[in-house]
Amino acid sequence: MKGSMFARGGAALGAAAALAFGGAALAQQPLKIGFVYVSPIGDAGWTFQHDSGRKEMEKVLGAKVATKYVENVPEGADAERVIREFAATGHQLVFTTSFGYMNPTVKVAKAFPKVNFEHATGYKRDKNVGTYNARFYEGRYLTGIIAGKMTKSNVAGYVGAYPIPEVLQGINAFTRGMRSVNPKAEVRVIWVNSWYDPGREREAAMTLISQGADVITQHTDSTAPVQAAEEKGVYAFGYHSDMSKYGPKAHLTATTHQWGAFYTKVAQDTLAGKWQPSNIWGGIKDGMIKLAPINPAVPKDVRDLAAKAESEIAGGKLHPFGGPVKDQSGKERVPAGKSMPDDQLAVMDYYVEGVVGQLPKK
Amino acid sequence: MDTLIAILIATVGAGTPLVFAALGELVVEKSGVLNLGVEGMMLVGAIAAFAATSATGNMWLGVAAGMVAGAGMALVFGVLALTLQANQVAAGLALTIFGVGLSAFVGKPYESVALQAPQVLHVPVLADLPVLGPILFSQQPLVYLSWVLFALVAWFLYKSRSGLVLRSVGESPTSANALGYPVIGIRYLATLFGGAMAGVGGAYLSIIYTPLWVEGMTAGRGWIALALVVFATWRPARVLIGAYLFGGVTITQFFAQGAGAAIASQLLSSLPYLATIVVLVLISRNPNLIRLNAPVSLGKSYHPGG
């Protein structure tokens, strides 16, 4: 007991000395950064990409930062505990990487005004809470172009998790990309009502294949649809991460999320003391969305087509929802010559022309 | 017609893990033991099978590893609930939580490994039958084994002497003990068998159905197997019907969605649960038969001396 009192006293003395002898010693202290992940890191998927971003930032900034992460944190009360723990243990920057962390993040941020928070995919901001997201649909449009050229049956199958705007943007952008090169193409959608259930994702993919789809893509978290496509000898696109390992023949490319550059910038701004809360929605232009290496099975003219669209999207000349955009019922949502504004994109609740079936009503 | 055949082929595949796990649990419950650890045993079986198959390239070694691992988990439950007389519900829940964590921990290095999907086995002659051939006789070898298991379980429980003993242990362990039967020993055997079958169900998922390992990949199938046993009022044939019904409605609603049916997908997704419960409740609605089939001592600990 006595010993520990002495040790504590010593530490306090040391801290006082560090304060007294100025900023030089303090500057050596790395910036402590915390990451909260919603699922296990695994080998592919949403959290894997965030963790790759964390590692990339560590590589660039080296000893200037010290990162820590907690994986598999359920959205809700547990999340608040983990976020609070980070803030209370000297982390000056905390990334919370799932939509359901929104309210806990904002709540903890109020209690720790000196700590900077960045919340992924949310919409609530504060003096010390910024939000960030990526324009996943831009990548979807490019994979749609490749799908439109590679399909023989003119039917693509899409395994969806839940009919929320983010997923619908993907389905609609994919459909528009596909029909931009193949007006006969149609997209069939099956909702599995789960972000993650390999068995059902596979069943959904198999069903789509037996209904004539020869290109499969998904907005769920496992690699099961890619594997199902490989087994049945049709094509597939990965999502979140490069999934080519799970279907070397089937996997044409994937829409991948790249958070590294953004994480590095936020850390640098925090180090320099000039971080400001903002709402980042980055896309191909910002390097947040990239296509995985394209399968050699894709002929050169198709690659060129995708590459051209990629550079046009980056240059702002092409918008996946550039008018005219018609929904399934033929109603014009965006007139010719205009492109869809971000606030409309964010609340998308319909299928565009070319998607088969009706969207489940709320 | 082609669509119907495609649906039925997929139905058999989707129902098979439930057939294994639920038939195993049926035998366990018939001996008077309630093991809620099915989900955990399935997961541990799944990772053990995946590890063994990826190391050896042999599917059957994987199935064997899944069996052993599932039985090993059941042994843990047995020691807690049968030898130490812990509460069976609590011990079973703990087993599931333990299995989820253990499989995730052991499975970490296997997350990036991909396995080849095994080939289906066409039964000679029978596979060429119209309609029935592709549905029943062009399936994975493990699917045929699940039917063998069904026949064995049905025969064992209702036609064999040892089955009668097992059921008497589930009805009245005191009487069985008085007649000189080793109640705890019989319950151990039943529990181990249930664990081994849950392990095979997990193995089917990880090396055959979706040849990959990811944390929590059973996604609640262990709980569905448990529910099937109850709703099937502890009858093997009804367990089989329930498992295929559940798989069949799941697949059918996917087909309906893919074809563009104008029904809310949330409703469609809940259909397998609704349909299975409704059908099983209807075919088992005779209260006398329920009383007859339900093991009277289910979930109660047995003290040999007291």
CB contact under 8 A, B114 and A245: yes
Please report the pLDDT score of residue A7 as a whole number.
40
| B208-261 confidence digits (pLDDT tens) | 998 888 888 888 899 999 999 988 889 999 999 999 999 999 899 888 888 877
| Distance from C-alpha of A60 to C-alpha of B20, rounded to nearest angstrom | 51
Please report the pLDDT score of residue B301 as a whole number.
87
Bigger pLDDT: B2 or A213? Answer: A213
pLDDT above 70 covers what percent of chain A? 91
User: Do the bridges between strand A215-219 and strand A332-334 make them parallel or antiparallel, or are there none, so unpaired?
Assistant: unpaired
Question: Residue A199 is inside which H or E element, if any?
Answer: helix A198-210
Q: Which residues contact A71 (CB under 8 A, 6 or more apart)?
A: A37, A39, A40, A41, A47
pLDDT band at A43 (very low <50, low <70, confident <90, very high): confident
pLDDT band at A357 (very low <50, low <70, confident <90, very high): confident
Contacts of A40 in chain B (CB under 8 A): 104, 215
**The domain B2-293 is classified under which CATH number: 1.10.3470, 3.40.50, 1.25.40, 1.20.1530?**
1.10.3470
Average of pLDDT values for A259-263? Answer: 95
CB contact under 8 A, B258 and A357: yes
Please report the pLDDT score of residue B160 as a whole number.
95
| B255-303 confidence digits (pLDDT tens) | 888 887 777 777 888 888 888 888 888 877 888 878 888 898 898 888 8
CB contact under 8 A, B209 and A202: yes
Query: Measured between CB atoms, does B231 come within 8 Å of chain A?
Result: no
Contacts of A196 in chain B (CB under 8 A): 216, 219
- Residue A362: pLDDT over 70: no
Query: Measured between CB atoms, does B221 come within 8 Å of chain A?
Result: yes
| Distance from C-alpha of B4 to C-alpha of B11, rounded to nearest angstrom | 10
Please report the pLDDT score of residue B305 as a whole number.
65
CB contact under 8 A, A223 and B14: no
Query: Measured between CB atoms, does B261 come within 8 Å of chain A?
Result: yes
Q: Measure in Å the smallest separation between the Cα of B247 and chain A Cα atoms.
A: 10
- Token pair of A286 as six digits: 């910002």
Contacts of A202 in chain B (CB under 8 A): 209-210
Please report the pLDDT score of residue A4 as a whole number.
40
Q: Measure in Å the smallest separation between the Cα of A117 and chain B Cα atoms.
A: 29
CB contact under 8 A, A199 and B205: yes
What does pLDDT average to over chain B?
91
pLDDT band at A28 (very low <50, low <70, confident <90, very high): low
Query: Measured between CB atoms, does B210 come within 8 Å of chain A?
Result: yes
CB contact under 8 A, B261 and A157: no
Q: Could you say which of A193, A207, A231 has the minimum Cβ distance to residue B255?
A: A207
Please report the pLDDT score of residue A203 as a whole number.
92
Please report the pLDDT score of residue A1 as a whole number.
36
Q: How many CA atoms are closer than 13 Å to the CA of B284, on its beta-carbon side?
A: 25
Contacts of B10 in chain A (CB under 8 A): 203, 206-207, 210
- Residue A10: pLDDT over 50: no
Distances B200 to B56, B139, B170 between C-alpha atoms, Å? 17, 16, 24
Q: Measure in Å the smallest separation between the Cα of B99 and chain A Cα atoms.
A: 16
| Distance from C-alpha of B289 to C-alpha of A108, rounded to nearest angstrom | 57
Domain chopping of chain A, boundaries: 29-134, 136-256+289-356
Domain chopping of chain B, boundaries: 2-293
Count A/B contacts: CB-CB distance under 8 Å: 107
| Amino acid residing at A101 | Y
Query: Measured between CB atoms, does B214 come within 8 Å of chain A?
Result: yes
Count CB-CB contacts under 10 A for residue B98. Answer: 18
Q: Measure in Å the smallest separation between the Cα of B257 and chain A Cα atoms.
A: 5
Q: Tokens 């809620």 belong to which residue?
A: B36
Helical H runs in B118-182?
Answer: 132-136, 141-159, 161-171, 173-178
Task: Please enumerate residues of A whose Cβ is less than 8 A from a Cβ of B.
Answer: 40, 42-43, 157, 163, 188-194, 196-204, 206-208, 210-211, 213, 222-224, 227, 230-231, 245-246, 356-358, 360-361
Contacts of A188 in chain B (CB under 8 A): 258-260
Average of pLDDT values for A245-272? Answer: 94
pLDDT band at A9 (very low <50, low <70, confident <90, very high): very low
* A243: nearest CA partner in chain B: B112
| A135-150 confidence digits (pLDDT tens) | 999 999 999 999 999 9
Please report the pLDDT score of residue A361 as a whole number.
62
Residues in chain B, total: 306
| Distance from C-alpha of A187 to C-alpha of B177, rounded to nearest angstrom | 65
Q: Measure in Å the smallest separation between the Cα of A269 and chain B Cα atoms.
A: 35
- Residue B114: pLDDT over 80: no
Q: Do domains A29-134 and A136-256+289-356 have the same CATH topology?
A: yes
Please report the pLDDT score of residue B289 as a whole number.
79
pLDDT band at B28 (very low <50, low <70, confident <90, very high): very high
Contacts of B117 in chain A (CB under 8 A): 227, 230-231
Query: Measured between CB atoms, does B256 come within 8 Å of chain A?
Result: no
Please report the pLDDT score of residue A23 as a whole number.
43
Q: Under CATH, which number does the domain A29-134 receive?
A: 3.40.50.2300
* A355: nearest CA partner in chain B: B260
* A360: nearest CA partner in chain B: B264
Q: Could you say which of A196, A207, A227 has the minimum Cβ distance to residue B258?
A: A207
| B78-95 confidence digits (pLDDT tens) | 999 999 999 999 999 999
Please report the pLDDT score of residue A75 as a whole number.
85
Average of pLDDT values for B26-41? Answer: 96
CB contact under 8 A, A202 and B257: no
**A312-319: long-range pairs with CB below 8 Å, 24+:** A313/A138, A313/A141, A313/A142, A313/A283, A313/A284, A313/A285, A314/A283, A314/A284, A314/A285, A315/A285, A316/A285
Return the SS3 of B166.
helix
CB contact under 8 A, B117 and A357: no
Bigger pLDDT: B193 or B112? Answer: B193
Q: Could you say which of A43, A189, A192 has the minimum Cβ distance to residue B111?
A: A43
Please report the pLDDT score of residue A222 as a whole number.
84
Query: Measured between CB atoms, does B6 come within 8 Å of chain A?
Result: yes
Contacts of A361 in chain B (CB under 8 A): 264
pLDDT above 70 covers what percent of chain B? 99
Q: Could you say which of A40, A211, A245 has the minimum Cβ distance to residue B104?
A: A40
* A232: nearest CA partner in chain B: B117
Q: Under CATH, which number does the domain A136-256+289-356 receive?
A: 3.40.50.2300
Contacts of A198 in chain B (CB under 8 A): 205, 210, 212, 214, 217, 219
* A225: nearest CA partner in chain B: B210
CA B263 from chain centre, in angstroms, equals: 31
pLDDT above 90 covers what percent of chain A? 76
| A86-121 confidence digits (pLDDT tens) | 999 999 999 999 988 999 999 999 999 999 999 998
Chain B interface test: which of A38, A43, A159, A168 (most B C-beta within 10 Å):
A43
